[in-house]
Amino acid sequence: MKRFQNTVTLVTGGNRGIGRAIALRLASEGGKIILFGRKEEDNKAVENEILHTFGTEVQSCAVDVSSESSVKKGVEEALSRFGRVDVLINNAGICRLSTPFEKIRREDWDETLSVNLYGMIYVTRLLIPELRKKGGKIINIASLAGEVGGIATSADYVASKAALQGITRSLARELGPYHINVNAIAPGFVRTQMTEKMSINLSSIPLRQVAEPEDIAAAAAFLASDDARLITGTTLDVNGGLYMN
Ligand code: NDP
């Protein structure tokens, strides 16, 4: 079934890990894909992978989401190629491993918030006028850390992810009348470059498994589909039972 046949999806941080898996999953169901990421070589690798595996339309843009001007250029490029965006996945993120609170410097806070929070703000506010025209979906990749505090991560990361959940609810109220669903996904531990250096205690996870990026992609595909048409303002936990809401 090609659920995303006539759908254009923009995935930030789409060149590896969770973002790549989401882009591949939606492309496998016929979706057209725009990828944002800083490293052009990695962007091109995923662009080629999608093109050769699924043959759907795809374009990558070298965008640093923490820079408003870079985001503006990327969004303009994407809209001039595809004419619209139906689904926005705010996934780009960076993470600091556990650090004592008093050791997190002002520049550390700025760095994390500028990617994880302002990145989402810059992309989303440029695309809202587009999404309002026909409706659509916004999916924010939050984190278990934003719900329970950092298990392996520091407070600047936790704050950025908790903020995404609050904004998700706020935007869901504001944009609901325009048929825009706004939801978040809160992954627990996922096997990506981000978690390579974390030590994960499997016995603390009821299902005794670390997620694969494809597990998060499956949740994103559901929220991006018509099956989720009446779901908005929610956070879908994908964490093996580590936190039960
Ligand atoms: P990775 O480190 O594997 O990938 C991060 C992605 O974000 C890359 O594509 C990277 O591309 C991109 N990115 C980073 N900074 C920027 C920037 N300034 N501008 C544009 N793109 C950027 O991480 P994951 O795939 O694991 O994480 C994806 C999201 O999921 C993040 O928001 C993370 O916080 C969240 N998450 C992850 C969990 C996990 O266990 N892995 C758990 C909970 C949440 P490039 O470097 O080329 O810019």
Encode pLDDT of 48-69 as tens digits: 999 999 999 999 999 999 999 9
**Is the CB of residue 23 below 6 angstroms from any atom belonging to ligand 1?**
no
Instruction: Catalogue the active-site residues.
Output: 157
Give distance in angstroms: CA of 177 to centre of ligand 1: 31
Strand partners, 181: 137
Task: Please report whether residue 243 resides in a domain.
Answer: no
Number of domains in the chain: 1
Residue in 100, 118, 198, 107 with CA at minimum distance from that of residue 154:
100
Residues of the chain predicted below pLDDT 50: none
Give distance in angstroms: CA of 149 to centre of ligand 1: 19
pTM: 0.98
Q: Beta-carbon neighbour count of residue 229 at 10 Å?
A: 11
Task: Please report whether residue 21 resides in a domain.
Answer: yes
68 touches 41 (CB < 8 A): no
Q: Beta-carbon neighbour count of residue 148 at 10 Å?
A: 15
Give distance in angstroms: CA of 135 to centre of ligand 1: 26
CATH code (residue 114): 3.40.50.720
Q: What pLDDT, in 10s, does the model give residues 168-193?
A: 999 999 999 999 999 999 999 999 99
**Is the CB of residue 190 below 6 angstroms from any atom belonging to ligand 1?**
yes
**Is the CB of residue 36 below 6 angstroms from any atom belonging to ligand 1?**
yes
Pocket test for ligand 1, best of 11, 12, 16, 113 (most atoms within 8 A of CB): 16
Question: What DSSP assignment string belongs to 134-198?
Answer: H-EEEEEE--HHHHH--SSB-HHHHHHHHHHHHHHHHHHHHHGGGTEEEEEEEE-SB-SGGGTT-
Q: So what's the pLDDT on residue 24?
A: 98
Angle at 126 between CA 177 and CA 56, to 5 degrees: 90
Task: Please report whether residue 215 resides in a domain.
Answer: yes
Q: So what's the pLDDT on residue 36?
A: 98
Q: How many whole angstroms separate alpha carbon 114 and alpha carbon 120?
A: 9
Q: So what's the pLDDT on residue 245?
A: 87
Neighbouring residues of 201: CB distance < 8 A, sequence distance ≥ 6: none
**Is the CB of residue 150 below 6 angstroms from any atom belonging to ligand 1?**
no
Provide the domain limits for residue 206: 8-238
Q: So what's the pLDDT on residue 27?
A: 98
Give distance in angstroms: CA of 124 to centre of ligand 1: 17
Ligand 1 atom closest to residue 14's alpha carbon, by position in its atom list: 9
Q: How many whole angstroms separate alpha carbon 9 and alpha carbon 31?
A: 7
Q: How far is CA 192 from the centre of its chain?
A: 14
Q: State the amino acid at position 31 in one-letter form.
A: G
Task: Please report whether residue 245 resides in a domain.
Answer: no
Task: Please report whether residue 148 resides in a domain.
Answer: yes
For the chain, what's the residue count?
245
